[in-house]
């Protein structure tokens, strides 16, 4: 995987909160532009197609593209080029907040989390791809109108020392509302030790409460979803960690299936002999 940020030819970024507020007062930043910034800030990192779908009730696809391109020039948003071994075909470019976009959102929503643009240099392209993949789940669930809430980096049981969950969604299912807690397998690190440590801490919580309570969400039953880029990696994770032996309900979700077959056909149940496909018909 390689790539990085791509700046437009006309690049004159705004770097202070005062300049952005002045821009809004002069109506050079419209209410619709501000809404795009807010949606992108909430998504942390989303590709252009996802941004169009998130904004579909307010703006046409072409207007979202035009506004994103215009906002790049002032550093309100930043576009990335990511070349992935997983996706040989061309995919829509990822977007993140630029320094100007970050400053204006923190000015108006100081209590909320927005990713500081400088952090992406340390987090790298794999994290960009990780958020784009998770946003595809978030976007498809929202399009099916079964996503009731979503939280990034959620805290479990009011204890930040338990390690945070990457992304958690309250999902309306035939069995009632469930908390789907997505935990991404990161191939660039020792995932066995990383996930084993997490699961050991979560086991203790589950033994005490019979569930995995998550801050900011309703006390619904929690399903842990191990999120892997490919089926081959998912099978390796199951073989290594024996997910079927965990005390809490666990599923596996495969990114390559989400892109090619849709989210309803991307889930697997861990079993003693491997992974068994599970069709989530309510997600279709």
Q: Are residues 87 and 190 in the same domain?
A: no
**124-144 pLDDT, tens digit each:** 898 999 999 999 999 999 999
CATH number for the domain that contains residue 109: 1.10.10.10
Query: Are 156 and 273 contained in the same domain?
Result: yes
**Tens of pLDDT along 193-239?**
889 988 999 999 999 999 999 998 999 999 999 999 999 999 999 99
> For residue 271, what are its two tokens?
């079993």
For residue 195, count other CB atoms closer than 10 A to its CB: 20
Domain hosting residue 216, numbered range = 144-283
Residue 14 sits in the same domain as residue 114: yes
Task: Say whether both 94 and 152 belong to one domain.
Answer: no
The residue among 96, 124, 152 that closes a domain is 124
Do 255 and 225 belong together in one domain? yes
The pLDDT of residue 3: 84
Is 149 in the same domain as 76?
no
pLDDT in tens, 56-78: 999 999 999 999 999 999 999 99
Answer yes or no: do 54 and 165 share one domain: no
pLDDT digits (tens, 9 = 90+) for 247-274: 999 999 999 999 899 999 999 999 988 9
Considering the domain architecture, whether residues 82 and 49 belong to the same structural domain is answered as yes
* Domain end position, chosen among 94, 124, 154: 124
The pLDDT value recorded for residue 162 is: 73
Q: What is the pLDDT of residue 85?
A: 59
pLDDT at position 25 over 90: no
The answer to the question of residue 262 being in a domain is: yes
Q: What is the percentage of the chain residues whose pLDDT exceeds 90?
A: 75
Shared domain for 115 and 173, answered yes or no, is no
Which of 70, 90, 124 is the last residue in one of the domains? 124
Identify whether 135 is part of a domain.
Answer: no
What's the mean per-residue pLDDT of the chain?
Answer: 92
């Amino acid at each position: 995987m390689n790539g990085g940020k791509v700046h437009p030819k006309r690049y004159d970024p705004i770097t202070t909160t005062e300049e952005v507020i002045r821009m809004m007062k002069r109506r050079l930043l419209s209410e619709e532009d501000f809404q795009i910034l807010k949606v992108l800030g909430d998504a942390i990192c989303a590709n252009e197609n996802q941004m169009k779908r998130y904004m579909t009730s307010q703006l046409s696809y072409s207007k979202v593209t035009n506004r994103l391109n215009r906002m790049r020039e002032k550093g309100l948003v930043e576009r990335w080029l990511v070349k992935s071994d997983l996706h040989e075909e061309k995919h829509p470019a990822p977007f993140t907040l630029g320094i100007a976009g970050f400053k204006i959102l923190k000015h108006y929503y100081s209590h909320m989390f927005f990713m500081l643009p400088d952090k992406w240099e340390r987090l790298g392209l794999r994290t960009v791809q990780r958020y784009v993949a998770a946003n595809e789940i978030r976007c498809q669930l929202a399009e099916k109108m079964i996503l009731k809430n979503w939280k990034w980096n959620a805290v479990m049981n009011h204890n930040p020392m338990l390690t945070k969950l990457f992304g958690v969604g309250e999902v309306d299912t035939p069995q009632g509302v469930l908390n789907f807690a997505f935990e991404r397998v990161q191939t660039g690190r020792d995932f066995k030790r990383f996930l084993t440590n997490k699961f050991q801490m979560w086991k203790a919580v589950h033994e005490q409460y019979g569930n995995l309570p998550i801050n900011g969400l309703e006390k619904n039953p929690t399903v842990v979803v191990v999120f892997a880029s490919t089926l081959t990696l998912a099978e390796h994770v199951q073989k290594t960690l024996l997910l079927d032996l965990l005390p809490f309900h666990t599923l596996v979700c495969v990114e390559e299936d989400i892109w090619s077959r849709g989210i309803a056909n991307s889930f697997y149940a861990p079993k003693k002999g491997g992974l068994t496909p599970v069709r989530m018909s309510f997600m279709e």
